[in-house]
Amino acid sequence: MDGQRVERFAEGSQELMEVHGEGYSHAKSKLPSKDYESLDYDVCYNKPFSQMLASRDKKSLLGQEVVRWIVTGAIGILTGLVAVFIDYFVTLLTKWKFDTIHKSLIACTPSGCLAVTLLILMAINGLFCLIAGILCAIEPVAAGSGIPEIKCYLNGVKVPHVVRLKTLICKAVGVLFSVAGGLFVGKEGPMIHSGAIIGAGVPQFQSIAFRKINFDFPYFRTDREKRDFVSGGAAAGVAAAFGAPIGGVLFSLEEGSSFWNQALTWRSFFCSMASTFTLNFCLTGIFGYGWGLFNQPGLLNFGDFRCKEGTEKCDLWNLQDVLIFIAMGFVGGLLGAWFNALNKHLTVHRILHVYSRAKHVRILEAVLVGFLTTSVAFFGPIYLARCKTLPPGSTKGNDTKPYFCQDGQFNDMATLFFTSQESAIRQLFHLDGAFSLTSLGIFFICFYFLACWTYGASVPSGLFVPCLLCGAAYGRFIGELCRLLGYQHTYHGTFALIGAASFLGGVVRMTISLTVILIESTNEISYGLPIMITLMVCIILLFLCTVYLL
């Protein structure tokens, strides 16, 4: 069997060299060699082991189980606190940046000194991207979302440094700079990695970074125990990101670990609940809602889906919409699959020409991506956007941007670019009649290709929120098109939600956990059926395409 694996690996390497030439061999020789060991998850049930189990005191076993649950709760609380840290400083840095740009735009638009504003924005975003790139140069495993590495760990592959304290610091600090730096990345993916690192470190009662601190508690230091706590930490990360504790457990079950049991289900759910409770409690008090009111269940808030008061014949969705949702599922799945294909070729290019070089090349690439993203986000609203009349009573409740427009109007593309991605998603879900087809199409194309290029750069980056925003723009485009054709009996935000689900499903190829996460994030159970239908269409389409290609 080992001989067959070696032969297949050699054939694959030869095929890759034929496709990409001698550069692949040269790049491979320059990449640092790492030992990817296997983790020992299996328990060898033999006679001495059975005798050892029979000789153990029941009180000690009960005490160990109590400690296991206490440690699980501590993992959830600490994961929630890390999420609070990331969200607070991302909000603080983003608000400071956009307030600075807003003052400059208001002062410079009449006199025509927009170049100064552009330089200020590029300097801020470039500095933030530089810091994120340097942190990933210090610890390369901190780059990306970390979800693939955690999947490897949960399935028995020990990736070097993947659950180290140093990785957690670089990941948590780096992601807030990459998000605040205007890159089309999200903080939800790195939260899963952060939760997994906390799950791996807390039960050990020791750390390589602090070798002198060592507690005499070796009961959870086996690979099997450590794997279970990592599963709970990953579930807590999803729960903190989306405010979806059930979705977090299902994500860890569906996409994470291949080793599962009923006891782990209960502990993962408890860990997710502790994480969600901690995040909700802290953010609600920090942002001034009042301590104990629990108005912020997760890092991502989709808002309330409801028809505007006074609107006639408006439903969230009806039976006629199902056919439209199925068509959107097909298109969204294809767009997501193409996104993965483009990113795969881009990753091969990075391996050949970026990762094989010195670390400063990776940092410069991250800064370059930041500069180009800033330029597109700045010039798009100036030359390609449309000025729209402000919806009645929405000047304060919605974060619309009046840049480059007359009084009483707002710039529809600036409303999406000059704000956080979470706010842009809420605008696409709930701002009625605010976006033209041209602006939505241009925003989708720009965001699609820039997000594809950004994901894989040497910065901490998540993919969930960019895919949701990209899919929401695609779905809102379909909704506005249906409205122009006279079909306006359905809430416009429903099409944006279905578009977001279809595109994200095409990229990450999740069904059960993604459905539950979106339902918990929207707080609208009636969306369960259309989301399930859309995601099933995506997965079936991708499965048929895979079978055809093979």
pLDDT in tens, the chain (550 residues): 344 443 443 444 444 444 444 443 444 444 444 566 777 676 766 777 677 667 776 667 787 888 889 999 999 999 999 999 999 999 999 999 988 888 888 777 655 678 888 899 999 999 999 999 999 999 989 988 888 889 888 888 888 888 888 999 999 999 999 999 989 998 888 999 999 999 988 888 776 666 666 766 667 778 888 888 999 999 999 998 888 889 889 888 888 777 788 888 999 999 999 999 999 888 888 877 778 777 777 777 787 787 665 555 667 888 888 899 999 999 998 999 899 989 999 989 888 888 877 888 899 999 999 999 999 999 888 888 788 777 665 544 467 787 877 777 788 888 889 888 888 998 899 887 778 899 999 999 999 999 999 998 889 988 889 999 999 999 999 988 888 887 777 788 889 999 999 999 989 888 888 888 888 888 888 888 899 999 998 888 877 777 666 5
Q: How far apart are CA 125 and CA 489, in angstroms?
A: 42
Read off the pTM. Answer: 0.86
Residue 371 in tokens: 């500069």
Residues β-bridged to residue 144: 460
Beta strands 157-158 and 409-411: pairing type? unpaired
Q: How far apart are CA 386 and CA 203, in angstroms?
A: 55
Beta strands 387-389 and 409-411: pairing type? antiparallel
Handedness of CA 202, 204, 205, 211 (dihedral sign): negative
Say whether 267 sits in a helix, a strand or coil.
helix
Q: Are 492 and 480 in contact (CB under 8 A)?
A: yes
Instruction: Pick the closest to residue 247 from 514, 528, 508, 45 (CA basis).
Output: 514
Q: Are 207 and 155 in contact (CB under 8 A)?
A: no
Q: Are 37 and 158 in contact (CB under 8 A)?
A: yes
Say whether 303 sits in a helix, a strand or coil.
coil
Instruction: Pick the closest to residue 545 from 498, 509, 493, 504 (CA basis).
Output: 509
Say whether 167 sits in a helix, a strand or coil.
helix
Q: Are 173 and 203 in contact (CB under 8 A)?
A: no
Alpha-helical segments (H) within 109-187: 114-138, 147-154, 165-180
